[in-house]
Chains A and B, each alone.
Chain A
């Protein structure tokens, strides 16, 4: 660990001081050097003033989970110095702003301290207060470039791309980055033992966050109505959708919009709008997070029972209640699976990274219309708001939306009497009609008891028949939704089950476990209701771990409820503290268990 193209560094700053651009600059520069890299933003629920961190992991093996150790910290927030110094690995480095003295009590013998008078340099070089603060960050980026051997030509090229049009700004940024770079070169042994060397591993890749990718998915799937209420960490999703629409969905002649984005008064209304538009035949969606899903429950049950499509993207955050709104979790699994009252069960798709945010958002629109039901895309803050390295997105121009069974005017001519909830094909999916097409296809959409013709009923048998058919419909769905992704090794007797953003740490943990002599197969669940392959996997192993980011092992509960597999035979590996998991903690948890079992 911790060598060429294999290390992690972290900046510790104060929220709202403009460090984001320096962090992005560094990460992108490493990426452009062809080296796999990921960044994780660990930020407080605050606009300005509280501690914030940004972790960048460089990994020639392409691992994208949180780094196991931190090799270097740029400490710019005195209030977190003690914590930051303590979090360094032995032999690590601390770079701090030496314009002000460092309390000698904080010094650790096994850590090298590098003082760079960032504040002082910027005070001398720039006259405006704002520049002095903001450019301090660019100056530390320069110092890091020297220490970590990040290509200055790439950095300068990127500054030109970012500020090309604003000459004075560009010039100031160039000066600041050079200042830091030169200072480090003059005062320290550059580069450090762990550092960057150009590779060729990122040629076909991009850096993107999951919310942007979901927004692109909605755009490409042909969604025209977006309704939402702002909530972290989903807000940037609708913002991105709007920007893409403004770029790609404005009629060139009239300048009128081929989309409608409504900022609703709350999540109840957002859900109502999604359902109203879905009922009318438009592809519609909302994005929200846990508290929003709570408010949408009544409508989710309605849409389930009245069979109306809609896509609900849940960028999960740590709860309950407001919880830690800027931290990640996978703790809405049960809520999404059975949202609402009465017998309900919802389709959920689980992207593991931004690339799948794109593909599964498209798949969600198809599933919603095909099965005439709400579909969740279960993202989370880690996927949604962090930049991930991923293969470039591609698009098949042959794709056509699956609009499901919709009878148009001509098809209606062929039927004697249209019945809304009739299972003509035996797959549980009834045909629907869209309003405005023909009086013959008119029906009454209701959340109250109805029979297979759509007529009001309180007759027990007629009511039960419809509910039972909807169950069959969901079974059909289970067979067509994305299959679990299974990776196998010869002779494995350990199985690991997980979903979503746990992919990165689990993938790494599987490699590390192998180094410890443990062979594990892994199954990533991509959709709910579960495909038959899920239970088949569970049945194969002597030891089964279920890895998830919540306190109560919700995925394990769901597996038991839905497959009947005994709960006690699944060992929960849980992390619900709000940070993305590291592979190390998974390896420790699993090897401890295995050691205990064999002792």
Chain B
């Protein structure tokens, strides 16, 4: 993965967050993606979200697979360890890392090819395992890094830059996640930072696997007429289903002005997510409703965005594994090795 280090210019009066860091502290290396790539907007949203969350960068681990999208992890929070895994296999590495140290915050960034083609199995099983992580798919419907082949999320009938028509039905990550029992499912658009930032914050705070599908246009291979993942297409067809407010713990809680129905979800750390349904009667706690709504939008050629489903009672991998709260990687050897007397005793069983 290529990157260029960024000169660190700091304005002395740059605004600091609760832990005394400015937004620049959440930046990473300079992006080497194509100018205008949607993924860079996602990076900007991530920087904003983590800064607003007061996340200590060194307590986070940035995980990704392979693809243009997977390079994103280099472009934010340079003070976090990063892991650029192999193509499609970031979920397993994250599950292992998380098994070893449950205290860190895990941020996984992947592409639609990485997640829905080569990595579909690992994505599905990370959902089933409910690994505690934020999982962002930067979804552009194509393989960017290998120059423009259709990915599994390419819409039926959409056209490649070379004029080929996609004849295979797409895999929709949101429907997939809902079907597999994901406990947090959202969709957004890279061009809509005001929506994306609160979604990312809520997803980060969710205990368990939080899938955020971000439509993120590829200007080099999929931003033309005939693409269903272009900027123009998204501007015309995005429908916000649920408006999100994220109210962190510690901050003054302002009740947002709203006229619609509102769902308040209390997150694991005590912060709140307030979901305002813009679709009439929408209840983001109903998996069935989410499924029906997303499908109805797809049928109409619309893209439903917002936090579409949230189940705050889900048990994450460590709950299911019944592991101790101390990170396994930090347990003292004395607590792990039964010692010579126990071995001696054990040997009697093999007589």
Residues of A within 8 A of B (CB): 28, 31-32, 206-208, 216, 219-222, 224-225, 227, 248-249, 251, 254-262, 264-266, 268-282, 284, 298-299, 302, 392-397, 399-401, 433-440, 442-448, 456, 458
Contacts and interface: CB of A to CB of B under 8 A. Distances in A.
Nearest to A219: B338
A433 B84 CA distance: 16
A292 to B, nearest CB: 14
A436 B328 contact: no
Interface in B73-87: 73-74, 78-86
Interface string B80-111: 11111110010111111111110110000000
Contacts of B328: 224-225, 258-260, 277, 282
A255 B324 CA distance: 8
Contacts of B122: 265, 268-269, 272
Contacts of B94: 276
Contacts of A261: 321
A396 B321 CA distance: 31
B58 A248 contact: no
Nearest to A448: B1
Q: Count chain B CB atoms within 10 A of each CB in A280, A281, A394, A442 and give the residue with the most.
A: A280
Nearest to A446: B84
Given A265-B122, A272-B91, 8 more contacts: A269-B91, A272-B89, A273-B92, A277-B96, A277-B329, A282-B101, A435-B80, A456-B1
Interface stretch (B43-51, B189-197, B340-348): B340-348
B57 interface: yes
B2 interface: yes
Given A275-B93, A276-B94, A393-B347, A442 B100 contact: no
A281 B86 CA distance: 20
Contact of A437 (B58, B98, B100, B346): B58
A265 B125 contact: yes
A277 B84 CA distance: 15
B59 interface: yes
A176 B59 CA distance: 65
A227 B125 CA distance: 14
B335 interface: yes
Contact of A258 (B73, B99, B336, B351): B336
A453 B113 CA distance: 30
B255 interface: no
B95 to A, nearest CB: 5
B61 interface: yes
A438 B329 CA distance: 16
A436 B95 contact: no
B100 A277 contact: yes
A273 B96 contact: yes
A482 B58 CA distance: 38
B313 interface: no
Q: Count chain A CB atoms within 10 A of each CB in B59, B89, B101, B328 and give the residue with the most.
A: B328
10 contacts: A219-B338, A224-B336, A225-B99, A227-B99, A257-B321, A279-B97, A302-B85, A395-B339, A448-B1, A448-B84
Nearest to A261: B321
Which 8 pairs from chain A and chain B are nearest by CB? A276-B96, A272-B92, A439-B79, A273-B96, A282-B100, A435-B81, A280-B100, A206-B350
B337 interface: yes
Interface in B121-150: 121-122, 124-125, 129
Contacts of B85: 272, 302, 447
Contact of A299 (B86, B340, B351): B86
Looking at chain A's contact residues, is the secondary structure mostly helix, strand, loop, or mixed? mixed
A400 B336 CA distance: 11
B333 A400 contact: yes
B103 A395 contact: no
A207 B340 contact: no
Given A281-B101, A282-B99, A222 B92 contact: no
Contacts of B89: 268-269, 272, 298-299
Contacts of B74: 444, 456
B329 A282 contact: yes
B324 A258 contact: yes
A61 to B, nearest CB: 21
B101 to A, nearest CB: 5
A30 to B, nearest CB: 13
B256 interface: no
A258 B333 CA distance: 11
B322 interface: yes
Nearest to A436: B104
Contact of A276 (B57, B95, B322, B335): B95
B96 A227 contact: yes
B336 A281 contact: no
Contacts of B350: 206-208
Contact of B323 (A257, A275, A448): A257
Given A279-B83, A439-B57, A395 B343 contact: yes
B331 interface: yes
B3 interface: yes
A55 B92 CA distance: 42
B18 to A, nearest CB: 17
B99 A273 contact: yes
